[in-house]
Amino acid sequence: MDTTDQLATVCCLVAAEASAPEGRFFAVDGFLPEAARRGDCCVLLPSQDGTRARELLAAGFARVLLGEAALRDAQTVAELAAGFGPERIGVLAPVKRMQVSWIMDSESNADFKVMRPSLCEPSWEVLTGSGVRTGTLAGWWIGEMLKLGAGFVVIQVDIVDDADMNIAAGLMEEYGARLWFSPLEQTEPPIDDLIRFGKISQMVLPQVVFAAYLGNLEREQEAGERQAQLGHA
């Protein structure tokens, strides 16, 4: 199920017990709802391999998103895109802020030593399907996956401060409609700020979060209608 407001398209990451909704939706392999293959279902494969992706595509599922398999062997993305079409192949990129360490630098100036950070600017790194940090720069890796034929990328990330917001806005500026964003662990992501400041135009929200989002939209619409009625009274 998806909903589109004036600024963003928002889709649901459905739970296993849910029925397949109308429109595009997302689901995790192993927790697929009944009749998912008959809908516009995008199946997330956090740790599963290319063989599983081929099985799902051949069985009629609309799209698959490779996670750790794409990290282990990027050519899997290229092969699937060539065989099934890039519009059916996506990449799942769980990411976190890359940790900064401080290094003693004695090479740039022989007269004295200075401490320098390992990163010049805040960055995200890609995680494995089990959440282990890989040190792989997310922005670079996402670009490589798209070059290899992936049609779209879902970035799972918790945006907690201005630095994260700026990273998101930069990726949106570079890759635009090929990116979707989804919370990694957050239960109350700052949706309005993500749209306004992060420039995010497509989101995938877990079912509980999605339901709360729809409820807020309905309340806002009702409040707007009441205000309009008062204005005409």
Report the range of poorest mean pLDDT among 1-15, 119-133, 167-181, 192-206. Answer: 1-15
Report the range of poorest mean pLDDT among 38-42, 126-130, 194-198. Answer: 38-42
Burial of 118 (0-12, 13-18, 19+ CB in 10 A): exposed
Domain boundaries, the chain: 2-96+125-208
The pLDDT of residue 82: 98
Share of the chain above pLDDT 90, in %: 69
Asked if residue 99 has pLDDT above 50, the reply is yes
- Report which of residues 218 and 16 the model is more confident about: 218
pTM metric for this prediction? 0.87
The total number of residues written for the chain in this structure:
233
Asked if residue 107 has pLDDT above 70, the reply is no
Residue 220's SS3 state is helix
- Residues 175-195: tens digit of each pLDDT: 999 999 999 999 999 999 999
- Domain 2-96+125-208 in CATH 3.40.190.10: no
- Give the confidence band of 110 by pLDDT, cuts at 50, 70, 90: low
The mean pLDDT value of the chain amounts to 88
Which has the closest alpha carbon to 69: 80, 85, 56?
80
The pLDDT of residue 131: 95
The pLDDT of residue 223: 74
The pLDDT of residue 117: 46
Query: What is the C-alpha to C-alpha distance for residues 173 and 6, in angstroms, rounded to an integer?
Result: 19
Which has the closest alpha carbon to 181: 191, 211, 173?
191
